[in-house]
Structure formats: structure tokens, C-alpha cells
Amino acid sequence: MLARLGATRLLEIRQALRLTPQASRSFSTALNYHLNTPDNNPDLPWEFTAANKEKVKEIISHYPSNYKQSAVIPLLDLAQQQHGGWLPVSAMNAVAKVIEVAPIRVYEVATFYSMFNRSPVGKYHLLVCGTTPCMIRGSREIEDSLLKHLGVKRNEVTKDGLFSVGEMECMGCCVNAPMITVADYSNGSEGYTYNYYVGQ
């Protein structure tokens, strides 16, 4: 009931403000709330490619048949790679269908883990570690330099669609602080890479 009231209220605010899709996205991200936009709504068809359908089978084969919902994280990861680095609601629904759970079970996971992006990112998504050891070793200054160089704010995409900069929590490489990760979505899931770099 409360959720429905909240959704109605948000819709009214959105209509009153006549939010553009980009503004709707920022609004949704700030409130951790999904609002339908032309490029992110449950009516957009989405399915795994033929090659990825084979990968889906392989991923699910790692789990007992009555626990295939445990494959939710690797399947979301694959869907994100296929979709250029982010997860529209229709991709999350496709994952829910594969593992035969209610879509909310997939949304809960995708909204909890910061490795899943729910709005578009650049072909090269740079993630700067924001946890204490990296911060002490200058990660904030590195992030500021990247944002200044690219002319964007955190989580914004450059106009050419190539770069975006986000923050990540400890990458488990504190001994090499400060750390940066580059997720490369420029070649789909086939050519996807995710590499760590030492920031100094």
C-alpha cells in the first residue's frame, strides 16, 4: 500500500517537473527507486544472445537443479556485459525468468551490489576505490583528476559514450593502494575485461 502510494507520488512529481529520461534516471538513482524511461522499462524486449544462452546453461549447471536461483549473480553479471555495462529492468526480468524466481528476488540482488549498474555507463567504466587505505593514499585526488580530465561528474558518461567514473569499496588489494578498476564493455560479453590497476 505504502509502496503504491510512493510510486503514485513519484509519478506526480515526475509529471509536474516534466523530467527528461536523464533527469528521471538521476532522480531514480538518488532515491534508489526505479522509474520507467524509454530505454529502461519492462516492456522493452530483452533476452540473452544465442552464445550467451549457452553460457547461461553452463553457469546453471554449476548448481543443484533445485537451487538454480543461486546463479543470480553470475547471470546478472553476464546480462550486464551483454547490455554494455548496465542492467535495464527488462534484463533483470529475463534473469528472473531463467532462474524461475519472482523479479523482486533479482532486483534485491542487483540493487544491493555496487558492481551492478542500473543506469548506462561508458564503454570504459573506471572505478576508483573509496575505502580508507586507498583514500589515505590519494584515491580522492585521483578521482578528482579523472573527473576533471573527462569533464563529467561521478557516474556521468562522457558525451562520446566512452568513459564514466564510479566509486567502489575495497577491492582487496589495499597493499597496492590506491587502486582503480577498469571494466571494458567495448566488445560485448565476448571481449569483456575487468582489470585492476595501481593508481600511483
Integer Cα distance of 150 and 24 in angstroms: 23
Based on the shown chain and the rule CB under 6 A, indicate whether residue 170 belongs to the binding site for ligand FES.
Answer: yes
Coil, helix or strand for 63? Answer: coil
Cell of 28: 531514480
* Per CB under 6 A, 133 contacts ligand FES: yes
In the complex, what is the shortest distance from the CB of residue 131 to ligand FES, in angstroms, rounded to a whole number?
4
Map residues 74-113 to x or -, x wherever contact with ligand FES holds by CB under 6 A. Answer: ----------------------------------------
Chain center to CA of 35: 16
Tabulate helix, strand, coil % of the chain (nearest 5).
50, 15, 40
Q: Which of 75, 78, 134, 180 binds ligand FES (CB under 6 A)?
A: 134
Alpha carbon 34 to chain centroid, angstroms: 13
Smallest gap from Cβ 200 to ligand FES, in A, equals 12
Cell of 181: 578498476
CA dist., res. 61 & res. 173, Å (int)? 31
Number of chain residues interacting with ligand FES (CB under 6 A): 11
CB 34 within 8 A of CB 89: yes
Task: List the interface residues with ligand FES, window 24-63 (CB under 6 A).
Answer: none
Pick from 75, 150, 179, 183: which binds ligand FES (CB under 6 A)?
179
Binding positions for ligand FES, rule: CB under 6 A: 129, 131, 133-134, 170-174, 177, 179
